[in-house]
Amino acid sequence: MTRQNTETEILQQALNAFQQTTGIHLEYFQDNHLPLEMHLDGRIRLTGNFNTDDLNVEVKATINEVILGRLAQHVRTNPENYILVTRYAPPYLAKKMKELHIQFIDTAGNAFLNRPPVLVYVYGNKAAERHAEPTIEGLFGVGGIRIIFALLCEPNLVNATYRDIATAAGVALGTVAGVMKDLTEQQHLVELAGRGRTLMKKKELAEKWTDAYTTKLRRKRFIGRYAAPREQFWRDIQIDPIKALWGGEVAAYKLIQYLKPEVITLYTRKPVDELVIALKLRKDEKGPIELREKFWQFDYPDNRNVVPPLLVYADLIAVGDPRTIEAATMIHDEYLKRHFQ
């Protein structure tokens, strides 16, 4: 079944389930005048005696915290004009969407719709059946995630030798050839006569990378939680960039002077004993400091000792609460938007 057929099936099932659950009929129609900056699939309107504006529709077969974080970022200025249609929203994601003001319906009859005078909030209905979604493991397996991250952060690397790309990404040489082939087949990499290779559709590639990193690699690189003698030790302590780099909320604070950090993230290499002793950290499962393993080998020049902005953005989106999403948006607009346009 093609992606378009899958989305059409999900859309129709969700519309039927919403009507069966609420008694309210939603009408779907296509529209060629949708905003170009979002991947929208049409519009939905409430039929009957409801004087409400139409809703822009986006269909996603599956959802997770990262997808919701990015959607909240996209629709933050007018979420009342947007609705997500998905196969199934488990209770914890349904509650997250209500918190983020993301309206949605799913094929199980769960929904959040806030269009005065209509307010619908249903969660807890179970999915009728499970569906296995296709994956692009070759390109977005662990090796691909590392390579794409290096290529997006180091633009000149795309024309380096495969050996240099492998070194920068921290992968085996044989992995590079397969990933570069997949990038070419999916039209993210082209060879220009006399001008070498260039990355294409970088915005789309960065979004796919963010999803893949946060779902497949981020958890695997978690080392542990710690506490420090002083609550805000990160403000004045000097870290050796060779041994560790600031990530997440502290990196966002250093880059845009916004967001009071609640979780202190440091990317480092194993073993961590030397860093722990130098910073006077102690193991604490509920501590505010998280150590994550640095998974890349290239140097990103920044005198604030922070990880590349793409990783800062991904970490903030992964948290998925309104304050980190706002910070992620600012990081994106100031450090990523022009580069990935």
Angle between helix axes 142-153 and 309-319 (nearest 10 degrees) is: 130
Pairing of strands 42-46, 26-29: antiparallel
Looking at every residue in the chain, the average pLDDT score rounds to 89
Exposed (0-12), middle (13-18) or buried (19+): which is 161, by Cβ within 10 Å? exposed
pLDDT tens digits, 107-154: 999 999 998 888 999 999 998 666 544 444 568 999 999 999 999 999
Beta strands in the chain (DSSP E): 26-29, 42-46, 55-60, 82-86, 103-106, 111-115, 118-122, 189-192, 196-199, 222-227, 244-247, 264-268, 282-283, 289-293
Domains of the chain: 3-122 (no CATH), 137-215 (1.10.10.10), 220-340 (no CATH)
pLDDT tens digits, 175-192: 999 999 999 999 999 988
Judged by DSSP in three states, 202 sits in helix
Sheet holding 222-227, edge to edge: 244-247, 264-268, 289-293, 222-227, 282-283
Cβ partners under 8 Å of residue 72, min gap 6: 79, 100, 101, 102, 320, 322, 325
Tell me what pLDDT residue 136 has.
46
CB atoms within 10 A of CB 94: 23
Q: List the beta bridge partners of residue 111.
A: 105, 122
Scanning 170-218, the segments in alpha helix (DSSP H) are 173-185, 202-212
Q: In percent, how much of the chain has pLDDT > 90?
A: 66
Checking if the pLDDT of 322 tops 90, the result is: no
Looking from the CA of 33 toward its CB, the CA atoms found within 13 Å total 2
pLDDT tens digits, 2-27: 566 788 899 999 999 999 999 999 99
Pairing of strands 289-293, 55-60: unpaired
Nearest to 165 by CA among 61, 18, 296: 296
pLDDT tens digits, 90-108: 999 999 999 999 999 999 9
Nearest to 211 by CA among 309, 69, 340: 69
Query: 167: which 2 tokens?
Result: 């070194």
CB 261 within 8 A of CB 231: no
